[in-house]
Amino acid sequence: MPGLLLTGSRMLTGTEIKMDKNLILKYNRPGPRYTSYPPANHFAGDFTTDDYKECITLSNAMSPENISIYIHVPYCPRLCHFCGCSTTLLTNADSTGQYFEALLKEIENVTALLDKSRQVTQVHLGGGTPNSVPLKYIERIIKSLKLKLDFHPDAEIAMECSPAYLSFNDIDNLSEIGFNRISLGIQDFDIKVLRAVNRKPSKHDVRELVNIIRTRGFKGVNIDLIYGLPHQNSESFAKTINKVLEIGPDRLVTFSYAHVPWIKSAQKKLEDIGLPEPGEKLEMFAIAYEMLTGSGYVPIGMDHYAKSDDELAIALKNKMLHRNFQGYCTKESTGQVYAFGSTAISQLYNCYAQNVKDNETYIRKIHESGFATERGYIMNSEELMTGKVINEIMCNGFVDFVEIGKSFGKSAGDVKQVIGYDPVKLQPFIDDELLEVKGSKLQVSLKGMLVVRNIAMTMDPLLELKEKKFSKTI
């Protein structure tokens, strides 16, 4: 339905994609999100620092050749009750200083093992709230990275920011340090929702903030929203989406609130206030999807959206989309990820390596041995192949078994055998017009991308081996 439409109070200018809610309900069962393959619940404690060092050395000769850096900043001035991230209350300036000293030491030790002819194409600071700690710490980290490694001229340098602690002056300073992308955690504009989850609203009008970010030469602005919080309903969430549309970020994520009180006990407080029913949550997801696609945003995976001229939307069109723990990226910009800080997960060619979770232990371990590896996973060649299939289907909704086989010196049949390819398991998706099988190629339909992780689950031989409590899709 291209053109200008008026649906209720919703002004739509693009091609609205209708959401099939029955379809979502049919396939709404717990499963991995496949931000990594194998998923993090497979990481094991017998992976040592020596394993990590060996994998770093090996990574120099592997692809992608580019280097991506993730820096974890586990501090927030106030803790949101919904939060599923690894963070702590920012109380003691001394321990923050010690944490950043440890980060610098870890950077020194890891970069010493890297081939200096490789280029950095991505740096991502996440957390926690990196914009809430003194800027001098952030500046030292970026300076140290630039001193030790060669940066690609178009490297993306991004920070996750809570707008509650972001002043116009901070934006100038971040730009001067070299940042060129900002992700703003909005979650919701409704003050009643923010109060209920113990979250401070934005310091400045968000539209003004985004305008300032744009005029300071940043390449792009992302906005994060969450649906499924107390006091939210489809009507209130539609208002929030309308506000976002007025602001027009380049990219946007509508996260389904992951309720895991058995891991994050603060989330129990939200149960006392009352969480939206699953049906209402689905309405919110659907309304956001229809409003955003109707306004020209391209859906990327399930819950990410990008403007049609954004490089992620273009990469999706060209089947060149990729993802890591930090989010979607293009195959050109992505690199093997070297991650620093507590809980940080490195994603190298053949391994995942995660650091200890506790900040104090992280600081101590770095001072003792220069590394803080706690667990990880080394992939064998079959898991590398399966990982490639899962990544292609999750990101691009497309798999060419011949091409994937070629990249491993194998045939399409070999790949299918490794992933336990079973046409019977795929048949329901084909019957529901979510998937097409053409020779050795699989193509997920636009509608099918909404249940793509269920399709991926049919090609994951490790799934049956390790059952775990996952949150549901919606």
Ligand X SMILES: C[S@@+](CC[C@H](N)C(=O)[O-])C[C@H]1O[C@@H](n2cnc3c(N)ncnc32)[C@H](O)[C@@H]1O
Interacting residue ranges for ligand SF4, rule: CB under 6 A: 76, 79-80, 83, 85, 87, 127-129, 162, 185
The one segment of 10-18, 52-60, 77-85, 420-428 that binds ligand X by CB under 6 A: 77-85
Residue 305 belongs to what H/E stretch?
strand 304-307
CB-nearer residue toward ligand SF4: 183 or 386: 183
The minimum distance between CB 289 and ligand X, in angstroms, equals 16
CB-nearer residue toward ligand X: 258 or 462: 258
- 360 C-beta neighbours (distance < 10 Å), count: 13
The one segment of 126-134, 148-156, 344-352, 423-431 that binds ligand X by CB under 6 A: 126-134
The minimum distance between CB 162 and ligand SF4, in angstroms, equals 5
Residue 389 belongs to what H/E stretch?
helix 381-396
The minimum distance between CB 408 and ligand SF4, in angstroms, equals 39
Question: ω before 220 within 30° of 0 (cis)?
Answer: no
Residue from 126, 335, 405, 448 in contact with ligand X (CB under 6 A): 126
Site for ligand X contains 255 (CB under 6 A): yes
> In terms of C-beta density within 10 A (0-12 exposed, 13-18 middle, 19 or more buried), how is residue 201 classed?
middle
The one segment of 9-17, 252-260, 341-349, 453-461 that binds ligand X by CB under 6 A: 252-260
- The first and second tokens of residue 359, run together, are 């900040």
CB 348 within 8 A of CB 118: no
Which residues sit opposite 328 in a β-bridge? 323
Residues 6+ apart with CB under 8 A from 31: 453, 454, 457, 463, 470, 473
Alpha carbon dihedral 86, 456, 278, 240, in 10-degree steps, equals: 60
Distance CA 448, CA 466 (A): 26
Residue from 11, 40, 79, 83 in contact with ligand X (CB under 6 A): 83
Site for ligand X contains 129 (CB under 6 A): yes
Site for ligand X contains 166 (CB under 6 A): no
Site for ligand X contains 266 (CB under 6 A): no
- Which residue from 125, 98, 152, 207 is spatially nearest to 330, judged by alpha carbons? 152
Site for ligand X contains 340 (CB under 6 A): no
CB-nearer residue toward ligand SF4: 100 or 377: 100
The minimum distance between CB 124 and ligand SF4, in angstroms, equals 14
CB-nearer residue toward ligand SF4: 118 or 304: 304
Alpha carbon dihedral 426, 428, 434, 439, in 10-degree steps, equals: 40
Site for ligand X contains 349 (CB under 6 A): no
- Side chain identity at 156, as an amino acid letter? E
Helix %, strand %, coil % of the chain (to 5): 40, 25, 35
DSSP state of 44: B
The one segment of 93-101, 125-133, 233-241, 270-278 that binds ligand X by CB under 6 A: 125-133
Residue from 55, 73, 85, 329 in contact with ligand X (CB under 6 A): 85
Q: Is 424 left (phi over 0), alpha (psi -120 to 50) or beta?
A: alpha
Residue from 156, 160, 303, 311 in contact with ligand X (CB under 6 A): 160
Which partner in ligand SF4, ligand X, none is near 79 (CB below 5 to 8 A by kind)?
ligand SF4
Site for ligand X contains 398 (CB under 6 A): no
Site for ligand X contains 79 (CB under 6 A): no
The minimum distance between CB 129 and ligand X, in angstroms, equals 4
- 172 C-beta neighbours (distance < 10 Å), count: 12
Which positions touch ligand X (CB under 6 A)? 76, 82-85, 126-129, 160, 162, 185, 187, 224, 226, 255, 257-258
